[in-house]
Amino acid sequence: MDFLTYWHQIAPGLCVAVLALGLGTLSWIDLKTGYLPFAIQIPLGISGLIVAVLGSPVGIGWQFALIGGACNAAVFAGLRWAVSRWKQREAMGQGDVWLVGVGGLWLGPWALPYIMAIGGFGTMIGAAFVSMIVRRPLWKGEMPLGPGLAAGILFCFVLALFDSAWLTLGS
């Protein structure tokens, strides 16, 4: 059996495992510290690009992965800039911008609206749930967005593996 045949057999499970481990670790760190370390995001992004080169199980080629990484990060950087100007203070960290860029390397550019929707909704639900349990507001008015974005990336990847009808990655 040649390498690429073997790769296509193990890729779906291996990709989900790598994403779950990396995104889970980032989420835990963000919840505890408010930061998304680049030391984890960079290898996770490189992994996504390698997967795209070898043959992504969700059909994203390396060109589409690069476009997704750049476009997703650019959109989120613009959003960060606009909301920060409107609020007259930092609205989100650079780690969030890089995280959606990593998502683009794994999923291409068309998954960004889904990542954002799942991430935003998941962040609000998670913060409300935890606030109810601890009986106090979370993060003094600030909520970490990273865990929601991470859940959005992982959820979209898994849905794409199952050829979800409503999630078209455009490749």
Does 25 map to a domain? yes
**% the chain with pLDDT above 90:** 60
Whether 168 is in a domain gets the answer: no
User: Degrees (nearest 5) of the Cα angle 112, 114, 119?
Assistant: 95
Band of the pLDDT at 137, cuts 50, 70, 90?
Answer: low
Name the burial class of residue 163, with classes exposed (0-12), middle (13-18) and buried (19+) by CB atoms within 10 angstroms of its CB.
exposed
Please check whether residue 62 lies inside any domain of the structure: yes
For residue 6, what pLDDT is reported? 83
Tens digits of per-residue pLDDT, 62-119?
Answer: 999 999 999 999 999 999 999 889 988 887 889 999 999 999 999 999 999 999 999 8
The answer to whether 119 touches 149, Cβ cutoff 8 Å, is yes
Determine, yes or no, domain membership for 166: no
CB 95 within 8 A of CB 40: no
The lowest-confidence range among 18-22, 73-77, 159-163 is: 159-163
Residue 167 lies in a domain: no
As a whole number of angstroms, the distance between CA 167 and CA 159 comes to 7
Exposed/middle/buried for 157, CB within 10 Å: 0-12, 13-18, 19+? buried
Q: What does the alpha-carbon distance between residue 169 and residue 112 come to, in Å, rounded to a whole number?
A: 10
Whether residue 171 is contained in a domain is answered as: no
In a domain, 30, yes or no: yes
**What residues make up the domain containing 90?**
3-161
Cα–Cα distance between 84 and 32 in angstroms, integer? 23
Number of compact structural domains in the chain: 1
Model's pTM, two decimal places? 0.89
How many Å apart are CA 9 and CA 96, to the nearest integer?
Answer: 32
Residue 11 in contact with residue 54, Cβ under 8 Å?
A: yes
Q: Which residue is listed with tokens 């919840």?
A: 31
Query: Is residue 135, in this structure, part of any structural domain at all?
Result: yes
